[in-house]
Structure 1
Amino acid sequence: MTKANIQTPVINYNKEGFDKSLLVELYKRLLKPRMIEEKMLLLLRQGKISKWFSGIGQEAIAVGVASALHPDEFILPMHRNLGVFTTRQVPLERLFEQFQGKAGGFTKGRDRSFHFGSIEHHIVGMISHLGPQLAVADGIALASKLAKEGKVTVAFTGEGATSEGDFHEALNVAAVWDLPVIFLIENNGYGLSTPVNEQYRCERLADRGIGYGMEAVQIDGNNILEVYRTISHYAQEIRKNPRPVLIEAMTFRMRGHEEASGTKYVPQALMEEWAQRDPVLNYEAWLLEESILTKEEAEALRKAIKKEIDSAWKKAEAAPYPEPSIEHELADVYAPFSQQVVQPKSSAKSRRRFVDAISDALRQSMERYPNLILMGQDIAEYGGVFKITEGFVEQFGKERVRNTPLCESAIVGAGLGLSIKGYKAMVEMQFGDFVTCAFNQIVNNLAKLHYRWGQNADVVVRMPTGANTQAGPYHSQSTEAWFFHTPGLKIVYPSSPYDAKGLLNAAIEDPNPVMYFEHKYLYRSLAEDIPDDYYTVEIGKARTVQSGNDLTIITYGLCVHWAVEIMQQIEGVTAEILDLRTLLPWDKEAVAAAVRKTGKVLVAHEDCLTGGIGAEIAAWITEHCFEWLDAPVMRVGALDTPVPFVKPLEQQFLPYSRMKEKIEELIAY
């Protein structure tokens, strides 16, 4: 970093509205993150920390924002916002343990630097993908608005991340819903080594807010008083009149993206120019010039802060690293939850189609959980494309049954934000295929949150799925295997109206993220008598559909019905048909028992064969049940092609005919 010797401030400070005590307090708050950074850079060279993302030169933004907000208003910071954590008085000892990966850190050594949150301090940290936290801020702001708390949420982002789709989705949703959120862009000149002229063509990033119908301003991010005044002004307005605001804070990154990358790509003249605008040294020089602070007082403050930092570091350095424990690691993948199966209060039953059972579950869960919010495209007055939420607006109102823009990523992120504030969220994908647009939020945010820093994600994502409806490549895919590989998610996939209702109720009850798959072909082709009352089905338990002795068919979804139908066509042979119902975690005990019973096993699914869930189950059976097998474990699935549209091609694609052939092959083995 270019050293600056600033005797006379070049930043114009306006102290109107600030008393002396606040002016001095802001100086303390600016000084602390700068001094911590200076120590961290020294420790990095000594090999005592492994990586550092420096915010030197940008402290006024983080400190100004955190100082201007109420302590119980959420902030979603990024790499270079150490000042948010110190201003919110996160204990330095624990912060330093986090930086070292110690057991006492916020992530127990599982994640680095500022990739964590602390509900106690109303901070929700970032993930490496930069954009997703903006939508999480939407959800937190939505929860505050629904509860009429009169609170504002602030989400940080960088100028580079404004190119991400998540940025645009989050701003759009916030604008459409009038959410009380401030989006703050730290424009520090470079995205790693890419300068702003290669990042965007608009003159000011603040102008992007205008396109979304929100007020937007550009400020001097190195001027602590301007940052504080601007945030205070908009926060006071937004608390009374909820709406989003975009603020672009102009600053400069005085060190590399992280220390290893250096700054050789930055013109020296630019470094020297911005060094003269150092937010800490300028503010200190101004305080001295205005006789608000003396040199002796400034030096005393430095000594006190250094003592605090050194003491905290000494304690953190002596703290233990986490002891590797498979048991502890697995225990933190999901938020603790012991499901107590709920039985219906009465014996009354009614005939319900598959689609009606899902609607029943949503309605009764909405009645049971006043904090449950439904979100999805066209789900309000229109009732959704499958009419599952028809009539819900009249019963529950538009605040709880929310039409969304075409912003799948932002809506899943908003669901997570709602969860952070203690709400439950159900997000409907209009078709399961569209979940690709929300993939990052699901696999990197929802799924990993509890493992990383102990925050659960109480979100259910409903997924109308499957083929056999001549809907073509983008409305027919089986996508469950994409999520099966992701620790932290739960996956349920019912095949009957009874299970559809009970498992959806259970999924909403569970505080963990649940992917709920519902086969479109079954919506109106399948009906049975099910309880009228609310009830749940245990997640993680398979169901024996029918008993048999000659072979075992392990399957789920539409293939359950195909298995029953095919076995009715084969005389003199009976099959044990096991419906997994829950794909993650799947019922290993039930699978082992079904294998042991017949010794011959077919694993069947509608999804493409290669890389499908059946491969994992077949491999597990071979490894753990080998001594009971009388034949090779066989699999059947769809062709390894996209889903075709026209009926003859779709029927060829689907595994029905090959399923019958495999069953006959297995019987004859």
Structure 2
Amino acid sequence: MTTKTDTKLPFAYDRESLSDDMLLQLYKAMLTPRLIEEKMLILLRQGKISKWFSGIGQEAISVGVTMAMQSEEYILPMHRNLGVFTTREIPLYRLFAQWQGKASGFTKGRDRSFHFGTQEYKIVGMISHLGPQLGVADGIALAHKLREEKAVTAVFTGEGGTSEGDFHEALNVASVWQLPVLFCIENNGYGLSTPTSEQYNCENLADRALGYGMESHIIDGNNILEVYNKVNALAEDVRQNPRPVLLEFKTFRMRGHEEASGTKYVPDDLMETWAQKDPLDNYKKYLVELGVLTEEMHENMASQIKEEINKNLDIAYEEEAIVPDLATELSDVFAPFTYQNTPPSTETEEKRLIDAISDGLKQSMERYDDLVIMGQDVAEYGGVFKITDGFVAAFGKERVRNTPICESAIVEAAMGLSISGKKAVMEMQFADFATSGFNPIVNYLAKSHYRWSQAADVVVRMPCGAGVGAGPFHSQTNEAWFTHTPGLKVVYPAFPYDAKGLLATAIEDPNPVLFFEHKALYRSIRQEVPTNYYTLPIGKAVSLKEGNDVTIITYGAGVHWALETLANHTDISADLIDLRTLQPLDTEAIFASVKKTGKVLLLTEDSGFGSVMSDISAMISEVCFEFLDAPIRRVTSIDTPIPFAGQLEEQYLSRKRLEETLKELIAY
């Protein structure tokens, strides 16, 4: 059997042991996305679609990698990987409907092109920020490894995306944890219009693997047989010997970044050189030379594919446009969750806030075998606050995982665990450090269910707050960054009892939860706490005091400041509401109290402008204006970063202004 071609082609093909039938399967798999793309370019010129990101010239990579993967293994493609979707045999009408914003697509018209995922076909699409999917692949691969499944995960990025921090974080995590991930770089010469010479300063991106202790390979991305044979062999080996592998596919983008961009920035001779390396045209010549393919066979194959394209386009065109429904839009922000009340026991123990959180976390680990804890120093060291002390002995290092200092990749890995059916709790060592993982929190976790009905079963623990002299980078109470983002739940307990029960519910809830824990309360607040596993509802405030003069609404440390102030002023009859949850918000409790008392004081440790209390003030003004007997008063910390020195921190905090403001409001 002839295996190699002559030298007339721009590269040598080697079929190795592939059958004629397999050679033709690879050809059809490349021809399908090429013909779809050619049709899309026509529709674009006709104004029937709004945008197109072309993968013409890169089909061999998408097809070769996908054909080498098993159907149950996840692939995380980019916007130039149409061949991944077609090779996984997604019905074409659903792809066309997706691109037209129809309901039978994958995002209900909420996102475009390839920004979607599908569990049915084990594809997890990109977001525009590019980098996060690399860490998500780590999480999916980690889930496979924890379940001892012989599976590999493939994730794509472009050469431009390798400059993002997420790329380096994801490779480092995969290497440290020896995760079975194929990191596929499509080096196509340009990041939009910026050439590789301005993107990085090394000869080959594959060389970067050395710094992470990883294996790497350079593959001709236009040679379908080289792609398929090498990836197939590597995938099989990685299944048996789990480890990450970096693959750099040398290729070229023959169209613009998207069609409106054009290619005027590409020298003509460079374009011509790569045109001669077209993966489809050259592979066709090779198959004809072998006698495996004839022109008649090609025409029949192309005719069938075009017929399938036109038939499925008609189906997509005939589908009615989406009719906006407000209730549906709002209900799809979060994954469905029916709260199950698990009552507290009568047996209690006095617990500090920190102990109650530790107990709740431990009991959740006992309850859910698929729950994984990740964070810096959370294993043997027990975390910087010792909340997970002893957890390694109880649950093992596989489920209680120290992480490198890379918040972004670990948030993403938590998302990957969720995609693969596990639960994750990530300890953000300090809430301030969430800035280093902000992108995947607000753009991936928060939007995942709304975009493609994928739950983000992730809890991010957020030790926060001032009062301990920790300065500007360890003292922020930054909950308002996240209450502003639809799709995130935000919990902020003030007492040990609440913290334990709400943490249990947060872990049960399949939606992403930011769980704020005030550091100054960790060891200063004690309470009798039930010893059993119990839950409390997210989204329900609690009334700590009842009165008629004024409503005080607060949360976190502010609760204890308010209790202390009221204890010193027994003449003030106040409703004191501890919100406990900031998203969703218990507006019913807020409005009922304000309508009763007619005066309201909103207390937060956060700075004033843009705080949670600013929105609550606006809501009260809109709903309860006619019941108010005085202006709404906000008591907030000053609009500066949080200082270190004790006297400066005292001046900063809203606590200093609470008593005076409350007296003024009562006297109004």
TM-score interval, smaller chain: over 0.9
- Cα offset for 1:189? 0.2
Deviations 1:571-594 (A, max 9, x none): 421211100000001000000111
The one-character-per-residue Cα deviations of 1:414-458 (angstroms, maximum 9, x if unpaired) are 000000011000000110100000000000000000000100000
**Which residue is equivalent to 1:594?**
593
**What is the CA–CA distance in structure 1 between the aligned matches of 2:255 and 2:11, rounded to whole Å?**
21
Report the counterpart of residue 608 of structure 2 in structure 1.
609
Which sits farther off after the overlay, 545-554 or 583-592? 545-554
What is the SS of the residue equivalent to 2:108?
coil
Residue type of the alignment partner of 2:188: N
**CA displacement 1:471-496 (0-9 Å, x = unmatched):** 00000011100001100000000000
Post-superposition CA distance 1:537-596 (Å, at most 9, x none): 100000001111111100000000000111122242121110000000100000011101
- Taking the TM superposition and a 5 Å limit, the aligned residue runs for 1:353-502 are 353-502=352-501
**Whole-angstrom distance in 1 between the partners of 2:518 and 2:570:** 29
Q: Secondary structure at the match of 1:120?
A: coil
Asked if 2 retains the 8 angstrom alpha-carbon contact of 1:380 and 1:392, the reply is yes
- The residue correspondences of 1:498-517 to structure 2 (distance < 5 A) are 498-517=497-516
Task: Give 1:3's aligned residue.
Answer: none
Structure 2: distance between partners of 1:657 and 1:54:
60
**Paired AA for residue 111 in structure 2:** D
Q: Which residue of 2 aligns with 1:542?
A: 541
Deviation at 1:42, TM superposition (A): 0.4
Partner deviation per Cα, 1:38-92 (whole Å, 9 max, x = no partner): 0000001111111000000000000000001101100000010000000000100
Q: Partners in 2 of 1:271 and 1:248 — Cα distance?
A: 20
Distance 1:10 1:306 in 2: 28
Give, in whole Å, the separation in 1 of the partners of 2:270 and 2:102.
Answer: 38
Separation in 2, partners of 1:321, 1:105: 12
**How many Å separate the matches in 1 of 2:192 and 2:233?**
32
SS at match of 1:643: coil
1:8–1:285 CA contact under 8 A, matched in 2: no
Q: Give yes or no for contact 1:431–1:463 (8 Å, CA) kept in 2.
A: yes
Answering whether residue 196 of structure 2 is matched by residue 196 of structure 1, we say: yes
User: Aligned letter for 1:458?
Assistant: D
Letter in 1 for 2:377: D
Distance 1:354 1:328 in 2: 39
- Structure-1 separation of matches of 2:300 and 2:285: 16
What CA distance in whole angstroms lies between the structure 2 residues aligned with 1:144 and 1:656?
Answer: 49
Q: How is 1:288-327 mapped onto 2 (pairs within 5 angstroms)?
A: 288-327=288-327
* Equivalent residues of 1:117, 1:453 under 8 A apart: yes
User: Following TM superposition, by how much is the alpha carbon of 1:9 offset from its aligned partner in structure 2, in angstroms?
Assistant: 2.8
* SS state at 2:61 partner: helix
In the other structure, the counterpart of 1:576 is: 575
Say whether residues 1:147 and 2:147 are aligned partners.
yes
Name the counterpart of 1:120.
120
Tell me whether 1:563 sits opposite 2:562 in the alignment.
Answer: yes
Which runs of 5 or more residues in structure 2 are unaligned?
Answer: 1-6
| Aligned counterparts, 1:74-93, within 5 A | 74-93=74-93
> Residues 460 and 513 of structure 1 are in contact (CA less than 8 Å); yes or no, is this contact kept in structure 2?
yes
Q: For 2:247 and 2:275, how far apart are their aligned partners in 1? A: 23
Identity over aligned pairs, percent:
63
The SS at the match of 2:42 is helix
Secondary structure, in 3 states, of the residue corresponding to 2:602? strand
- Structure 2: how far apart are the matches of 1:643 and 1:446? 28
* 1:11 Cα deviation after fit: 2.3
Give the total of aligned pairs. Answer: 663
Distance in 2 (CA, whole Å) between partners of 1:562 and 1:10 is: 75
Aligned equivalents of 2:383, 2:61: Cα separation in 1:
43
1:34 alignment partner AA: R
> CA separation in 1, counterparts of 2:603 and 2:570?
21
Structure-2 residue corresponding to 1:275 = 275
- Specify the code of the residue in structure 2 equivalent to 1:141: A
Q: Distance in 1 between matches of 2:8 and 2:239?
A: 38
Counterpart position of 1:263: 263
**Mapped contact 1:446–1:513 kept (Cα < 8 A):** yes
Partner in structure 1 of residue 3 of structure 2: none
Structure 1 residue 8: deviation in Å? 5.2
Q: Deviations over 1:301-341 (max 9, x none)?
A: 01011101110011111111211111110010000111122
CA distance in 2, matches of 1:628, 1:601: 11
Quote the residue 1:659 is aligned against.
658
Q: 2: CA distance between counterparts of 1:249 and 1:553?
A: 61
2: CA distance, partners of 1:535 / 1:473: 36
Corresponding residue for residue 219 of structure 2 = 219
TM-score between both structures, scaled by the size of structure 1: 0.98
- Residues 1:73 and 2:61 aligned together: no
- SS of the residue corresponding to residue 79 of structure 1 reads coil
**Amino acid corresponding to residue 388 of structure 1 in structure 2:** I
SS at match of 1:156: strand
Q: Please state how far the C-alpha of 1:176 moved relative to its aligned partner.
A: 0.1
Cα distance in 2 for residues equivalent to 1:249 and 1:315: 36
Code of the aligned partner of 1:515:
L
Aligned to 2:4: none
Matching residue's letter, 1:14: D
For the residues of structure 2 that align with 1:242 and 1:655, how far apart are their CA atoms?
53
Select between 14-23 and 185-194 the one with higher mean Cα deviation.
Answer: 14-23
CA contact (8 A) 1:255 1:262 kept: yes
Query: Displacement of 1:239 after TM fit?
Result: 0.5
Q: Report SS of the residue matched to 1:625.
A: helix
Distance 1:365 1:322 in 2: 41
Report the Cα offset of residue 523 of structure 1: 0.3
The letter for the 2-side match of 1:360 is: D
- 1:222-264 per-residue CA deviation (whole Å, 9 max, x = no partner) reads 0001110111111111111110000000000000000000000
Contact 1:8 1:286 in 2 (8 A): no
Q: Distance in 2 between matches of 1:256 and 1:93?
A: 25
In structure 1, the partner of 2:36 is 36
Q: Is the 8 A contact 1:503 1:536 kept in 2?
A: yes
Which amino acid in 2 is paired with 1:322? I
Moved more, 508-517 or 321-330: 321-330
**In 1: Cα distance, 2:107 partner to 2:45 partner:** 24
* Distance in 1 of aligned mates of 2:441 and 2:656: 35
* 2: CA distance, partners of 1:571 / 1:188: 73
Aligned to 2:628: 629
- 2:317 partner amino acid: E
In structure 2, the partner of 1:206 is: 206
Offset from partner CA, 1:626-649 (integer Å, 9 cap, x none): 121111111011000000000000
Residue 384 of structure 2 aligns to a residue whose secondary structure is coil
Q: Is the 8 A contact 1:9 1:283 kept in 2?
A: no
* Inter-partner Cα distance in structure 1 for 2:307 and 2:572: 80
2:336 is aligned to 336
RMSD: 1.0
Aligned position for 1:4? none
Normalised TM-score (structure 2): 0.99
How many angstroms apart in 1 are the aligned matches of 2:639 and 2:179? 44
1:474-530 deviations in Å (ceiling 9; x for gaps): 000111000011000000000000001001001000000000000000000001101
Distance, in Å, in 2 between the alignment partners of 1:629 and 1:580 is 20
